[in-house]
Every structure is written in C-alpha cells, then in structure tokens.
Structure 1
Amino acid sequence: MLNRIVLVGRLTRDPELKFTPNGVAVANFTLAVNRPFSNQQGEREADFINCVVWRKPAENVANFLKKGSLAGVDGRVQTRSYDNNEGRRVFVTEIVAESVQFLEPKSSQAKHDGQSSDDPFNRGSNQSYGYDQSFHDSEGNIDISDDDLPF
C-alpha cells in the first residue's frame, strides 16, 4: 500500500497554531496549488488543500510562514469524520504533513517589510552560512549552462 503526496503551493492564510491538552503543537494551513491546465476561458485554476502538521515542524510553520508563502509539503492523505453540533456527520480529507519545506528565502517574503541583517540569503551579506553564491550574478540570478548540469 502507498499513501504519499507531494505538493507545492502558496499559503492562503497565516497558519493557525494550537496545542493539545498534552502540550503537543499542531498547525493547520491551506495550500493553494495551481492546476497544470487552463479552463475554457484560458484561466488557471487552483485547488485549495487543507494541511495539518504536528510537533516542532508545526511551530516552525507558524513562526516562519505566512499568507502567500511558497511551501512544499511531503505527507499523506488522511480522512476522518465527526458529528457536528447539529448531529450531522462531517467528513474531512486533509494532508498530514511529515515535512514542510520553506521554498523561498526570507528576503523575498520580506521585500515590503525591509530586509533583516541576519538573513543568510541577503546578497549584501559577507557571511556565507554554507550558501554558495559563486553561480549568482549581481541580481541574484543563477548563471549555469546546461553543460554544467550532471543530468
């Protein structure tokens, strides 16, 4: 059996962080994922996919992602049901994220907020943080020919 999903999309709102009675962190967020085709009017549509992440990754998501952030989610599909206040059965399908990758540097999210001096992706920084800038031009674009790629 296989239940695996990988998504890349943008958060539709800020993540919602809660804690269980035992103190376990859980964050909920919705990812907008573009469909790979256009509709009859030529417009791209998106699916809005509910995601949940637990423990330390949940705290990281709540602290570092916000509405509009580009994120990658690796996890599994889960379905569950419960009875709502009116006594009706409600079915929920969601992605339980095992890992969430932050897919854009903080500086691109903070363009309107101003850049922080401790941002390792800041092009003006002299600190390397293990981030190789040797392939970047003055505007931060990567300059690599197809001959340089190993595949």
Structure 2
Amino acid sequence: MLNRVVLVGRLTRDPELRYTPNGVAVANFTLAVNRTFSNQQGERDADFINCVIWRKPAENVANYLKKGSLAGVDGRIQTRSYDNNEGRRVFITEVVADSVQFLEPRGANQGGQGQSQGNNDFYGAPAGGGNDYAKQGNQQSNRQSGGFNDDPFANDGKPIDISDDDLPF
C-alpha cells in the first residue's frame, strides 16, 4: 500500500501551535495549492488543504512560517472522526506532514523587503542539515544580482548553433 502526498503552496493563515497534555508540540495550518488548469472564466482555482505536523518541526513551522509563506509539504493523508456536541459524527481528512520545507527566504513575501535588504538566510533546514540550503542561498543571491535570470546570449547578436543531438528532449 502507498499513501504519500507532496504539496507546494502558500499558507492561508498563521500556523496554530498547541501542545498535548504530555508536552508534545502540534501545529495546524492550511495550504492553498493552485490547480494546474483554469476554470471557464480563465481563472485558476486552488484547493485548501488542512495539514498537521508534530514535535520539533511543528515548533519550527509555527516560529518561521506565517500567512502567505511558500512551503512544501511531504506526508500522508489521514482521516479521523469524532462525535460533535450535537451527537453528529464529523469526519476530517488532513495531511499529516513528515516534513515541511520552507521555500522562500525570510521576509520574501513582505513586499520584497527581505530581498531589497539582501537577506538570503534560509530557515528551517531539512533534517540532517546538508549544504543544499547554502547552495540555494547562493543561487538566490545570484538571481537577485541578475546572474540566472539574464539571458547570456541576449546582447551577442549571433545565432546560437545547437544541433538536435545536443537537446535533452
């Protein structure tokens, strides 16, 4: 059996951090994920997916993410039910996140304030550390200084000589 979910979207509200009676941290948040197609009016709809994450990653999510933050979630779908005050059974479907990746530098969705100040710090590094976030920070820095977004052949004026064998597709 396989139950795996990978999502990328923006938080619709600030994460809600709580603690169980045993002191285990749990954070709930909702992720807005755009659909890949447009509706009849030409607008792209979004799905609003409830997510939950536990323990130290829950504290990280609550401390570093806020409404509008871009995040990647890796986890599984879980359903549960309970009886409400009226005696009706309520079913809940949510994504239980194994990990949440913070996909923007700090302050990136605050009108560009973080980028204009040159803040390239990435927070919420994945478990196990690694140098991927340092590489991303360097790439982000290069993008901001015009390194990756500029066309290297734009002002050359010469045709590009590429054979079909050189193309990866």
| TM bucket normalised to smaller | 0.7 to 0.9
In structure 2, the CA distance between the partners of 1:137 and 1:27, relative to structure 1 (3 Å rule), is: closer
Once residues 102 and 141 of structure 1 are traced to their aligned partners in structure 2, the CA distance between those partners, rounded to angstroms, is 23
Corresponding residue of 1:92: 92
- CA gap of 1:78–1:137, structure 2 versus 1, over 3 A, is closer
Q: Distance in 2 between matches of 1:114 and 1:32?
A: 23
Unaligned runs of 5+ in 1: 123-128
Deviation at 1:108, TM superposition (A): 1.2
**Greater fraction strand:** 1
Q: Which amino acid aligns with 1:34?
A: N
Distance 1:42 1:118, change over 3 A: closer
Q: Helix, strand or coil: the match of 2:51?
A: strand
TM-score by length of 1: 0.80
SS in 2 for 1:79: strand
**What is the Cα deviation at residue 120 of structure 1?**
4.0
Task: Quote how far apart the aligned CAs of 1:86 are.
Answer: 0.5
**Distance between the aligned counterparts of 1:10 and 1:138, measured in 2?**
22
Contact persistence 1:135–1:142 (CA under 8 A): no
CA contact (8 A) 1:81 1:90 kept: yes
Deviations 1:23-56 (A, max 9, x none): 0000000000000000011110000000000000
Q: State the distance in 1 between where 2:62 and 2:34 align.
A: 23
**Which structure shows the bigger proportion of residues in helix conformation?**
2
Distance 1:108 1:22, change over 3 A: same
- Which of 127, 136, 139 is the aligned partner of 2:145? 139
Aligned to 2:157: none
Offset of residue 136 of structure 1: 1.5
Q: RMSD across aligned C-alpha pairs, in angstroms? A: 3.1
SS at match of 1:136: helix
Q: 1:68 and 1:134 mapped to 2: Cα distance?
A: 19
CA separation of 1:64/1:91 partners in 2, compared to 1, >3 Å: closer, same or farther?
same
Secondary structure of 1:23's match? coil
Give the corresponding residue for 1:10: 10
Q: Tell me the SS of whatever aligns to 1:60.
A: helix
Q: Matched residues in 1 for 2:29 and 2:2: separation? A: 24
1:10 shift after superposition: 0.2
Task: Name the structure 1 match of 2:69.
Answer: 69
Of all paired residues, the percent bearing the same amino acid is 71
Task: Report the secondary structure of 1:13's partner residue.
Answer: coil
Instruction: For residues 109-128 of structure 1, give each alpha carbon's deviation from its aligned partner in whole angstroms, at most 9, with x where no partner exists.
Output: 3446667x894449xxxxxx
Cα distance in 2 for partners of 1:135, 1:114 equals: 12
- Number of residue pairs matched by the alignment: 142
Bigger Rg, structure 1 or 2: 2
**Partners of 2:141 and 2:15 in 1: CA distance:** 34
